[in-house]
Amino acid sequence: MSDARRSRRGGRRPGGRGAATGGAPAAAAGKPYITRKIPYFEVVSEEGLQVIEDNAETILEEIGIEFRDMPEALEILGNAGANIDGVRVRFPKGMCRSIVQASAPSEYTQHARNPDRNVQIGGKNTVFVPAYGSPFVFDLDNGRRYATIEDFQNFVKLAYTSASLHHSGGTICEPVDIPVNKRHFDMVYSHIKYSDKAFMGSVTAPDRAQDTIEMIKIFAGDNYIDPESGRPRTYATSLINANSPMTFDDTMLGAAKVYAENNQATIITPFILAGAMSPVTVAGTAAQSLAEALAGMTFVQLVNPGAPMIFGSFASSMSMQSGAPTFGTPEPAMVLYTMAALARRLGVPFRSGGSLCASKLPDAQAAYESANTLLPAVMAGVNFVLHTAGWMEGGLAMGYEKFIMDADQAAMMAVLLGGVDVSENGQAMDAIREVGPGVHFLGCDHTQRNFKNAFYLSPITDNNSFEQWESEGSLDHAQRCNKRYKKLLAEYEPPPLDPAVDEALLDYMKQRKDSMPDSMV
């Protein structure tokens, strides 16, 4: 996004003031993503990070990574200098790092259907993205149930109306009422139809990735190709998980290859339950994650040097009592801080974090755990914060109330990332001089000039007196969020979409859906 466009919208703080108060589209609140003005927080020293990097190189060289069921990947990697032993690929020390650093962009623009909502991914930028991948949804009225395409569309609409979310996400929840082999059409269509923010494509098969790209071409039209570079513009950022430990499979790699060939972005993510898929330590999990991500990113850069790409990390720790994944505990936060620092040293955008929790309800556990992941994600400098809003029950459920409360938190994070204003107005010495000892500041000039945007104002938290709160029904936070999501959905208005484009999308979907029988795999 150009500086000119930015300044045209005025100098309001990024995604901040009023962002969550109105449900107004993001563009109205300033830049459609956040550029941080505060430092990064790191927990591991320079020397410690070097040790972890060295261990990752040792893993790549001595142990290697398996690329399963995809001879083409083995050929590509072998041709580039890796040692192929069956499906095991061993990389000489430094090979992956040098290939990634030679061509991977340090940041890229993900284009949205509405160019005012293009997001810049990498560098000092933060993009908040809804949660991804749950089979269930939850709301206070109906409890937990399987997700449908209507739920999916509802969450696309809620993300569209949430100024603090910069992105429409991908498989927000699984629309289980549509056959597995056809639901990607409806999901991609919903992102295009009910939002104009950037979104994520299908990754469950190479041809589904291709369908995503074809549907992008339909709405992007002439804009799809960048006339300067002659390459496609990046309209999709899609999630490629490793099968940790140290394994990639053909499904995910095949989708990654399709996206890379078309200059679309992929997030190469070791998905780790520490203790099961990695060692029980932070430094061990970090080294393994780095090795896996380097191997996957190397593959992408070999497929198409310069294809945009995000280094991803998802780590939760295992309850050593029950084997269940736990969230919001300190160890995964330390993995997150460590991985963010490693990604910065590598020079690629980084994805992690979000409002992760294990809770089955939008209760205090959900909130503590979510805050204990979202705040580290923000402090660590995560660029693409997947799972920012809605995540419940270890990712098994997408919550309506949880989505609202998380989006409110994301709006607060935008203010925090804006840092401290030490301008003359920020110093407020005129106010202190005017007021003096023992008097209040409410009426002074400085307060009058600044009060509207002075402090973040949440649309859902209750700060009233006990008596007033009681008179309003003694609602808890989840109950207030229940009211709010219904209000936002009732007030939702879709972004304009050219009817010809809509028709072309529907035609494409129909033709493709008709070409194959329904399948539940």
Backbone phi and psi for residue 151, each to the nearest 5 degrees, phi listed first: -60, -45
Q: Tell me, by CB under 8 A, how many residues bind a second copy.
A: 122
State the minimum distance, in angstroms, from the CB of residue 300 to a second copy.
19
Residue pair 29/18 in contact (Cβ under 8 Å)? The answer is yes
**What angle, rounded to 10 degrees, do the helices at 400-417 and 149-161 form?**
30
State the minimum distance, in angstroms, from the CB of residue 440 to a second copy.
5
Asked whether position 284 contacts a second copy by CB under 8 A, the answer is yes
Pick from 279, 306, 347, 495 the residue near a second copy by CB under 8 A. Answer: 279
State the minimum distance, in angstroms, from the CB of residue 34 to a second copy.
12
State the minimum distance, in angstroms, from the CB of residue 297 to a second copy.
17
Residue pair 392/405 in contact (Cβ under 8 Å)? The answer is no
Task: Pinpoint the alpha helices (H) of 166-281.
Answer: 183-194, 206-220, 250-261
Pick from 440, 493, 496, 521 the residue near a second copy by CB under 8 A. Answer: 440
Pick from 85, 229, 455, 518 the residue near a second copy by CB under 8 A. Answer: 455
Asked whether position 429 contacts a second copy by CB under 8 A, the answer is yes
Distances (CA, A) of 156 to 105, 169, 170, 194: 29, 8, 9, 6
Cα 153 from Cα 178, distance rounded (Å): 13
Pick from 239, 268, 367, 410 the residue near a second copy by CB under 8 A. Answer: 367
DSSP letters of 388-439?
EESEEGGGTEEEHHHHHHHHHHHHHHHHHHT----SHHHH-HHHHHHH-TT-
By beta-carbon proximity to a second copy, the closer residue of 194 and 327 is 327
For the window 201-240, what string marks contact with a second copy as x by the rule CB under 8 A? Answer: ----------------------------------------
Q: In this structure, which amino acid lies at residue 334?
A: M
Task: Report 299-358 residues binding a second copy (CB under 8 A).
Answer: 317-331, 333-334, 338, 358
Asked whether position 84 contacts a second copy by CB under 8 A, the answer is no
By beta-carbon proximity to a second copy, the closer residue of 205 and 404 is 404
By beta-carbon proximity to a second copy, the closer residue of 181 and 370 is 370
Q: In this structure, which amino acid lies at residue 67?
A: F
By beta-carbon proximity to a second copy, the closer residue of 42 and 186 is 42
By beta-carbon proximity to a second copy, the closer residue of 112 and 293 is 293
Task: Round to the nearest angstrom and report the end-to-end CA distance of the chain.
Answer: 40
Report the largest interatomic distance among the alpha carbons of the chain, rounded to a whole angstrom: 78
State the minimum distance, in angstroms, from the CB of residue 395 to a second copy.
12
CA 413 to chain centre: 14
State the minimum distance, in angstroms, from the CB of residue 451 to a second copy.
5
Helix, strand, or coil (residue 408): helix
Cα 301 from Cα 69, distance rounded (Å): 20
Nearest CA-CA partner of 341 in 275, 299, 286: 286
Stretch of 27-35, 150-158, 173-181, 449-457 lying at the interface with a second copy (CB under 8 A): 449-457
Stretch of 154-162, 343-351, 470-478, 491-499 lying at the interface with a second copy (CB under 8 A): 470-478
Pick from 227, 230, 426, 499 the residue near a second copy by CB under 8 A. Answer: 426
Stretch of 27-35, 75-83, 176-184, 460-468 lying at the interface with a second copy (CB under 8 A): 460-468
Residue pair 41/344 in contact (Cβ under 8 Å)? The answer is no
State the minimum distance, in angstroms, from the CB of residue 58 to a second copy.
7
Task: Report 381-420 residues binding a second copy (CB under 8 A).
Answer: 393-394, 396, 405, 409, 412-413, 415-416, 419-420
State the minimum distance, in angstroms, from the CB of residue 96 to a second copy.
16
Pick from 145, 451, 471, 498 the residue near a second copy by CB under 8 A. Answer: 451
By beta-carbon proximity to a second copy, the closer residue of 469 and 507 is 469
CA 27 to chain centre: 18
By beta-carbon proximity to a second copy, the closer residue of 309 and 414 is 414
The pair of structure tokens assigned to 410 is 């994301």
DSSP letters of 257-315?
HHHHHTT-EEEEEEEEEETTTB-SSHHHHHHHHHHHHHHHHHHHHHHSTT--EEEE-EE
Residue pair 153/190 in contact (Cβ under 8 Å)? The answer is yes
Q: In this structure, which amino acid lies at residue 20?
A: A
Task: Report 96-135 residues binding a second copy (CB under 8 A).
Answer: none
By beta-carbon proximity to a second copy, the closer residue of 164 and 195 is 164
Residue pair 104/122 in contact (Cβ under 8 Å)? The answer is no
**β-strand partners of 325:** 318
Task: Report 5-44 residues binding a second copy (CB under 8 A).
Answer: 38-39, 41-44
Pick from 5, 6, 55, 107 the residue near a second copy by CB under 8 A. Answer: 55
By beta-carbon proximity to a second copy, the closer residue of 225 and 416 is 416
Pick from 79, 229, 464, 471 the residue near a second copy by CB under 8 A. Answer: 464
Helix, strand, or coil (residue 371): helix
